Chain A
Amino acid sequence: MTGQAFFVLTALADAPRHGYGIVREVAELSHGRVKLKIGSLYGVLDRLAAEELIEPDREEAHDGRLRRYYRLTRDGRRALAEEADLRASTARVVRSRLGLSGAEAAG
């Protein structure tokens, strides 16, 4: 799973979001380090939808435009959980090899 896909799935983990909502959430999750461009975002959304990891949730009117919301599918939740476990275990190994405790690594 690419970093962008991981962030997009994470952005959808707690609630359905529309395109710009995902961009904002990803920027927040990554502390501003990942700023998704719209072309990149929809490349990722298209791929995740084709792999049935996300699906449309609903459409809402906003300022005269339709916002389409997306949500995780059951498979999307499982894939995200597995990826999170993998990344967490990798992070633990990195901390251990660097001789860092959790607090030091966070600080």
Chain B
Amino acid sequence: MSGGLDLEQRYRRVLRLLPGYYRLVWEQDMVAAFLESSLTGDPDEDDWIVEFSKPPWQEVASVAALAVRLYLGGTGAPRRYFAWGQAVRRAVLAVTLLQAVRGLEVLLLTAWSRHVFSWLPVPPARLAAGTPAGIVPPIVWWLVAYAWIVSFVALALGRYYRTAQVIAALAITPDLVWLLQGDFTRAFQGPSLGPWAFWVLLNFVPVLAMTAFHRDTPPAARWTWLLALVAIYLLVAVPLTALQTSGNSAWVPDAAGLYCVLAALACLAHVPRAWSRQAADSGVWSLTLTLLAAAAGAYRALSLTDYLHDPHQVQVSLAELLILILAVAPIVPDATRAQAATPAPARPRSGYPR
């Protein structure tokens, strides 16, 4: 058996995806079980299998799925992995919340334009909830807007995680089609990375990161998040709509700028809590806001390519980026401490009297 350890070595390489603490307990056992499940008992065939075969992709996928669950840990996980799990889950909830606010805006604007609110005057034409031109029919764009609301509510309620992920995955597909169509038809002039950055950073990555919601996930503060949907709509979407209605749209930042400003405001509001270090949960929020600021900053930086022809917009964008960096800097030390300071809630035991 010249390569007697080859299959084992290959499988151990796959197991390196798992956190060290987990491998310490389970690796030998997993290797033994995997090798037994791979061998046939026929010495010649087994020699060939051990020397040349690789772990099947289904085995690799099962280890990768386990690794995601462990790194983005829930109840019973070591502190570091619990902190990362909570931070990613809250960041995903926050991004989904912003998408849901856009959905709510479309929903209410549509209702307004169809005279559901009879006591309101007819909305100005510039507020008509238009849809991007292209092969995606308008009805799909309406459905996308509402799908984000459903996905957000499902996540906030702490149930139906996979349903929320599937709905969100469907909701980001029309955007992808629109982007691909734009690239093929050269609808985007010049090196425009903004739309792609938005799709990748604020659509695709959050949908992928919804995998962090699993059976061990402690429930989110559902009423706080649901109230946040209404609050953000009233405090952000309504004033922006009012600015547009009153013909002051020059004051309305573009999407990247808006996300930078919102992330910066959230960071600044959190600074006193991060510095006081009294709240046990403060570090996880610092980590959450740092992740959100990183996404907003990356989106702002990449979308600068949209304004290469406009020095004023470049200056505004760089100012937004600077504000974001200055706002997030004070909470970064607290975010780094979070990984060591956040104890995970204990996993529930079986609950039977002993």
Contact = CB atoms under 8 A, between A and B. Distances in A.
- The main secondary structure of chain B at its interface with chain A is helix
A51 B29 contact: no
A53 B350 contact: yes
Given A20-B36, A52-B350, A53-B350, A42 B30 contact: yes
A18 B69 CA distance: 23
Contact size class for A? Answer: 20 to 34
Nearest to B15: A39
Contact of A37 (B35, B62, B349): B62
B54 to A, nearest CB: 14
A75 B352 contact: yes
Most A CB within 10 A of own CB, among B29, B30, B66: B29
A90 interface: no
Contact of A38 (B25, B59, B348, B349): B59
Interface of B: 22, 25-26, 28-37, 58-59, 61-66, 69, 76, 215-216, 347-350, 352
Contacts, number: 83
Contacts of B26: 42, 45-46
Interface string A44-70: 011100111100000000100111100
A34 interface: no
Contacts of B29: 18-19, 42, 68
Interface of A: 2, 18-20, 23, 37-43, 45-47, 50-53, 62, 65-68, 73-76, 78-79
Contacts of A23: 33, 37
B216 to A, nearest CB: 8
B182 to A, nearest CB: 39
B347 A37 contact: no
